[in-house]
Chains A and B, each alone.
Chain A
Amino acid sequence: MPDAMPRQTAAGFSGLAAGYALLSPAMLIIVAMLVAPMLALVTLSFWTQNGFELDTSFTLANYWALIEPADEPTMWMGIPFPFKNPVYAILMLKSLVMSLAVTAAVILIAYPMAYFLAFRVTRYKALWIIIITIPFWTSYLLRVFSWKIMLGFNGVINSGLMSLGIISEPLSFLLYNPPAVVITLTHAWVTFAVLPIYVSLEKIDRSLLEAATDLGDSKWQRFRRVTLPLSLPGTISAALLVFIPTVGDYVTPTLVGGPGGTMIGNSIQSLFLKQDNSPRGAALSIVMMAIVALLSLLFMWAVGYRKIRARSA
């Protein structure tokens, strides 16, 4: 807002103008870094790549290519995929399943950590939070590589087991497969999940827990009837925080996934960079985003997120 503006007028705009003023840096960044590229991506998905040229006439062919039916369905894991290019649908399904596995594993690990932090730690809470975030002081790539060292053919687990005489030759199923991707992603995302769960647990009024006990609940009943429902908003945010970005991840599958561990992100990357078909890559990205958004909304609707939020407000 210009300084020359009279005070009274500024006060007339009141909170709204001040609010937008405060938001404007973030809004600018969002517009420049998110909205504009998204619009570009949507536009691109309606174009066609002709060698080095982009044909800018409108077409839905890129989307059609993703779902074009075939006479003979391709079987994968016993599921028929009746598409001409079944790899997209297969990778999409596989990515979703792997992401769900990651999300489930992250929540199962993060919830007890957050619970411990919220209810058992009474002193040095900040120190505990710092300790939990220590792995994040190193780069993501280094953390992924450290899992290669852990799980590799001559890695920590294999050489450890061999020196203990439990196995005679290295296990080859540890690395370069979907479970390795799930393990690595789980480790990478646990801390992100701990914090929102911790906040929602920390917010719970301790007298509610005493009231539940006073009304006859055992510790487990109290957890199930009071603690868990009241920490659901944070747990749901944590789950979405992990699920949404991991579906599209391509770095981890590239490094530890091997040929069997590829995900939809790898396919998009390949379309953009190797196959020089960015319009189809754009279409695939948009379809993936739509599916993830739809699933997230479905999930929130299924757990009654709105109701929970309204009540805990």
Chain B
Amino acid sequence: MMTEPMADTIISLKDVRRDFGPVAAVDGVSFDIARGEFFSMLGPSGCGKTTLLRMLAGLDQPTAGSILLDGQPMAGVPANLRPTNMVFQSYAIFPHLNVVENVSYGLKRLKLARAEEKARVDQALALVKLEGYEQRGAHQLSGGQRQRVALARALVCRPKVLLLDEPLGALDKKLREEMQVELRSLQRSVGITFVFVTHDQEEALTLSDRIAVMARGKVLQIDTATGLYERPYCREVAEFIGTMNLFAGRVTKIGHEISVDAGSIGTLRAPASEARISVGDAVHVAVRPEKLSVLTGKARTGTNVVTGKLVASTYLGDRSRYLVQVPGVPAPVSVSLQHDGQHAAGVALPGSKINLAWPASAGIVLTA
């Protein structure tokens, strides 16, 4: 986990904890967010990500620990005086105000000259592509437009940090994908730090510079999308991000490679891990579906091979997905095969015996 101070930190959390009665919604979380970063908090519902976001906004107070925002401790600073603004999951568009009145809501207390206020509102509306909707009432807006109003309303205040609580959750798939692209380019153009909460791993991977994967109030791993996918720290992260095949076993030898005795499958080899592992530990050898290939000839050295029975194959156009039942492995092994000429589509029939292979370097040893 990242603990060393970053060059330009805007948010710094230290041992932040939030108890609701006997339940710790956020259980001792520490990390830093860099200025200008698009940072996501990803996890299933109830993992504490929204509580953490609300504590950044000042809408909730930590039971223990400290939050620094741009170097300033936030304890005792009420939400209305924090340099943060939030895009709410429900958008929270004021129903009695029109688009302009909604967007300029946070500017009123600044007592700007009328022309300047108008210029800032126009600029914000242009940013979210809502020109021409100024006089629309809140009830005349579609879900996507409401989302844009919520964004403009928050951005017009020029916060140091923009907090987004599952802002795309209520949109349909196509609109969501469009908004993802827009949100990312918007963040680049305004240069404001975005802290984004989502339970959608694809969304987090698409948008974020870095992602904190959370579960049960704790941060499991903070990394880039590639890092999370290629080098998950634990089984939970591995299974949450994409699909992961797991082979349980015990460590028999540690060298520049780790040997794992996986029972009936035989010995599997994987690259040395950063995690502390000693001989005899129960571990999982994890491998992504696309790292597996169907072995037709003889296995090369340095390759792990497992044998199983094809349960199902799905043709997906650019690739095929096989599910292979390997004796001794509880869940069917998932294989993703690219149709690049090497693998012809529909070669194997369900029920046929199949050998799967992957280079030792493609596997990961997970302790938990």
Chain A residues with a Cβ under 8 A of chain B: 205, 207-208, 210-218, 221, 225-226, 229-230, 308, 310-313
- Assess A217 versus B137: contact at CB under 8 Å? Given A210-B59, A226-B94, A308-B96: no
List B123-139 residues whose CB lies under 8 Å from chain A. Answer: 137-139
Prevailing SS type, chain B contact patch:
mixed
Q: Give the shortest distance, in Å, between B145 (CB) and chain A (any CB).
A: 16
Cβ B109 vs Cβ A216 within 8 A: yes
Cβ B139 vs Cβ A313 within 8 A: yes
Q: Measured between alpha carbons, how far is A95 from B200 in the docked complex, in Å?
A: 64
- Assess A221 versus B139: contact at CB under 8 Å? Given A208-B92, A214-B57, A215-B153: no
Cβ B85 vs Cβ A214 within 8 A: yes
- Assess A214 versus B137: contact at CB under 8 Å? Given A207-B88, A221-B109, A311-B96: no
Q: Measured between alpha carbons, how far is A212 from B57 in the docked complex, in Å?
A: 12
The 3 closest A-B CB pairs, nearest first, are A215-B106, A211-B92, A207-B92
Q: Give the shortest distance, in Å, between B5 (CB) and chain A (any CB).
A: 28
Hey, which chain A residues are within 8 Å of B105, CB to CB?
Answer: 212, 215, 225
Q: Give the shortest distance, in Å, between A300 (CB) and chain B (any CB).
A: 16
Q: Measured between alpha carbons, how far is A208 from B59 in the docked complex, in Å?
A: 12
Cβ A312 vs Cβ B59 within 8 A: no
Cβ A213 vs Cβ B139 within 8 A: no
User: What mask results when residues 150 to 186 of chain B are scored 1 for a CB within 8 Å of chain A, else 0?
Assistant: 0001100100000000000000000000000000000
User: Count the B residues whose beta carbon is within 8 Å of the partner chain — how many?
Assistant: 26
Beyond A214-B57, A214-B84: 8 further Cβ-contacts under 8 Å? A207-B89, A211-B88, A213-B59, A215-B106, A217-B80, A229-B96, A230-B95, A311-B138
List B28-87 residues whose CB lies under 8 Å from chain A. Answer: 57-59, 78-81, 84-86
Cβ A217 vs Cβ B109 within 8 A: yes
Q: Give the shortest distance, in Å, between B194 (CB) and chain A (any CB).
A: 15
Hey, which chain A residues are within 8 Å of B157, CB to CB?
Answer: 215-216
Cβ A211 vs Cβ B95 within 8 A: no
Contact of B90 with A by CB under 8 A: yes
Hey, which chain A residues are within 8 Å of B78, CB to CB?
Answer: 213
Q: Give the shortest distance, in Å, between B237 (CB) and chain A (any CB).
A: 31
Q: Measured between alpha carbons, how far is A310 from B90 in the docked complex, in Å?
A: 20
Q: Give the shortest distance, in Å, between A212 (CB) and chain B (any CB).
A: 7
Hey, which chain B residues are within 8 Å of A313, CB to CB?
Answer: 139
The residue on A at minimum CB distance from B98 is A311
Q: Give the shortest distance, in Å, between A297 (CB) and chain B (any CB).
A: 22
Q: Measured between alpha carbons, how far is A221 from B137 in the docked complex, in Å?
A: 22
Hey, which chain B residues are within 8 Å of A207, CB to CB?
Answer: 88-90, 92
Q: Give the shortest distance, in Å, between B101 (CB) and chain A (any CB).
A: 10
The residue on B at minimum CB distance from A211 is B92
Q: Measured between alpha carbons, how far is A226 from B96 in the docked complex, in Å?
A: 8
The residue on A at minimum CB distance from B163 is A214
Hey, which chain A residues are within 8 Å of B153, CB to CB?
Answer: 211, 215
Hey, which chain B residues are within 8 Å of A225, CB to CB?
Answer: 105
Q: Measured between alpha carbons, how far is A211 from B93 in the docked complex, in Å?
A: 8
Hey, which chain A residues are within 8 Å of B92, CB to CB?
Answer: 205, 207-208, 210-211
Q: Measured between alpha carbons, how far is A229 from B138 in the docked complex, in Å?
A: 14
The residue on A at minimum CB distance from B150 is A211
Cβ A215 vs Cβ B85 within 8 A: yes
Cβ B80 vs Cβ A312 within 8 A: no
